[in-house]
């Protein structure tokens, strides 16, 4: 580009950017909504988005980031599958002077200056909200409340923190017991499979299933039904995300509650990308504001849901 063809900074509107986006995969309804939101927001802002679906494999995300660096993109958006293992590649991005924005999951790295901001939810709080709902909803009951937990992807930020927040609240209530806890990788198919195994291993004992996302909760509902029990009655079903599938399950009387986690992060991410590319300062955390939806409000809220 010739120097004289470049408009001066003062006249130029927000620059059109080339953004590389390293997505985790398409493991859940939440993730699909997240991808669509980011693609739509990039398009609306006139940016070019290079999209990579890692199919739930960290090595694919690392490859994508390296390819974005060699293509000299303006900004990289990363939805890190797990928290660890990013030190080297994030240092490479920093050395190439490409800002990295984290979305929907956080990392643990030695050098925190290798990423600019995290756009996403407070997952510990989501776990606390799930437990608070359970304690409140079952306060009139007596005796042990045996819980099974379906964890998200091993080593992922939301799985670690949703477990942590849930346990933190239940610590003060000794009759609530997590009797089994296993990963089901945030997918429906694995949610069903793991719940089937739980039901076989603990016949008649399970009172509650706490799933780290709605997709696994929906898989668990299928397993509960196939075992001859009634979901939401014999076994209480708690999910996280508040996707449409959860509202449908609640309206059908098969699920009790979902804790909201907003996937529609595209607009906030584009704003952050523009600032990062212009070298403007960003907060370390751009936090989502969210609620809790029990089955009683599902039918009323359903028409307002955007994902």
Which of 26-34, 38-46, 88-96, 165-173 is the region at the interface with ligand GYE (rule: CB under 6 A)?
Answer: 26-34
Among 30, 86, 133, 176, binds ligand GYE (CB under 6 A): 30
- Near ligand GYE by CB under 6 A: residue from 74, 149, 161, 241: 241
Site for ligand GYE in 163-222 (CB under 6 A): 186, 213
> Between residues 265 and 274, which has the closer beta carbon with respect to ligand GYE?
265
DSSP string, 29-58: HHHHHHHHHHHHHHHHHT-EEEEEE-TT-H
Q: Closest separation between CB of residue 44 and ligand GYE, Å?
A: 23
Nearest approach in angstroms of CB 200 to ligand GYE is 26
- Indicate the residue among 255 and 274 with the shorter CB distance to ligand GYE: 255
Select 146 or 239, whichever has its Cβ closest to ligand GYE.
239
CB of 60 vs ligand GYE, minimal distance in Å: 16
Q: State the minimum distance, in angstroms, from the CB of residue 166 to ligand GYE.
A: 14
To ligand GYE, the closest distance from the beta carbon of 105 in angstroms equals: 5
The one segment of 23-31, 68-76, 88-96, 294-302 that binds ligand GYE by CB under 6 A: 23-31
DSSP codes, the chain: --GGGSPPTTT--SPP-EEEEEE--S-SHHHHHHHHHHHHHHHHHT-EEEEEE-TT-HHHHHHHHHHHHHTT-SEEEE--SSSSS-HHHHHHHHHTT--EEEESS----S-GGG--EEEE--HHHHHHHHHHHHHHHTTT--S-EEEEEEE-STT-HHHHHHHHHHHHHHTT-TTEEEEEEEE-TT-HHHHHHHHHHHHHHSTTT--EEEESSHHHHHHHHHHHHHTT--BTTTBEEEEEE--HHHHHHHHTT---EEEE-----HHHHHHHHHHHHTT----SEEE----EEEGGGHHHHGGG---
Q: Which of 20, 22, 23, 31 binds ligand GYE (CB under 6 A)?
A: 31
Q: Which residues contact 228 (CB under 8 A, 6 or more apart)?
A: none
Stretch 244-263: interaction string toward ligand GYE, x if CB under 6 A? -----------------x--
92-151 positions binding ligand GYE, by CB under 6 A: 104-105
**Cβ 7 to ligand GYE shortest distance, Å:** 39
> If binding is defined by CB under 6 A, does position 290 make contact with ligand GYE?
no
Interface residue list for ligand GYE (CB under 6 A):
27-28, 30-31, 104-105, 158, 186, 213, 240-241, 261
């Amino acid at each position: 580009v010739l120097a004289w063809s470049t408009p001066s900074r003062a006249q130029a509107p927000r620059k059109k950017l080339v953004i590389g986006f390293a997505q985790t995969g398409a493991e859940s309804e939440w993730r699909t909504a997240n991808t669509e939101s980011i693609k739509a927001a990039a398009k609306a802002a006139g940016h070019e988005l290079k999209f990579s679906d890692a199919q739930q494999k960290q090595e694919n995300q690392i490859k994508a980031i390296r390819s974005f660096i060699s293509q000299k993109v303006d900004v990289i958006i990363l939805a890190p599958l797990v928290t660890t293992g990013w030190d080297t590649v994030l240092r490479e991005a920093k050395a190439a002077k490409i800002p990295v924005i984290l979305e929907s999951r956080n990392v643990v790295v030695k050098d925190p200056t290798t990423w600019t901001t995290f756009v996403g939810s407070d997952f510990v709080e989501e776990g606390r909200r799930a437990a608070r709902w359970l304690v409140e909803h079952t306060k009139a009951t007596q005796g042990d409340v045996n819980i099974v937990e379906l964890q998200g992807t091993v080593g992922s930020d939301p799985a670690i923190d949703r477990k942590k927040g849930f346990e933190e609240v239940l610590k003060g209530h000794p009759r609530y017991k997590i009797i089994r806890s296993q990963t089901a990788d945030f997918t429906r198919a694995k949610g069903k499979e793991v719940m089937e195994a739980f039901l076989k291993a603990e016949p008649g004992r399970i009172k509650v299933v706490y799933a780290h996302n709605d997709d696994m909760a929906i898989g668990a509902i299928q397993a509960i039904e196939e075992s001859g029990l009634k979901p939401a009655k014999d076994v209480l079903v708690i999910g996280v995300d508040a996707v449409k599938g959860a509202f449908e399950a609640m309206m059908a009387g098969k699920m009790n509650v979902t804790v909201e986690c907003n996937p529609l992060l595209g607009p906030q991410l584009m704003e952050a990308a523009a600032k990062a590319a212009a070298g403007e300062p960003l907060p370390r955390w751009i936090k989502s504001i969210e609620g809790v939806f029990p089955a009683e409000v599902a039918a009323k809220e359903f028409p307002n849901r955007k994902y």
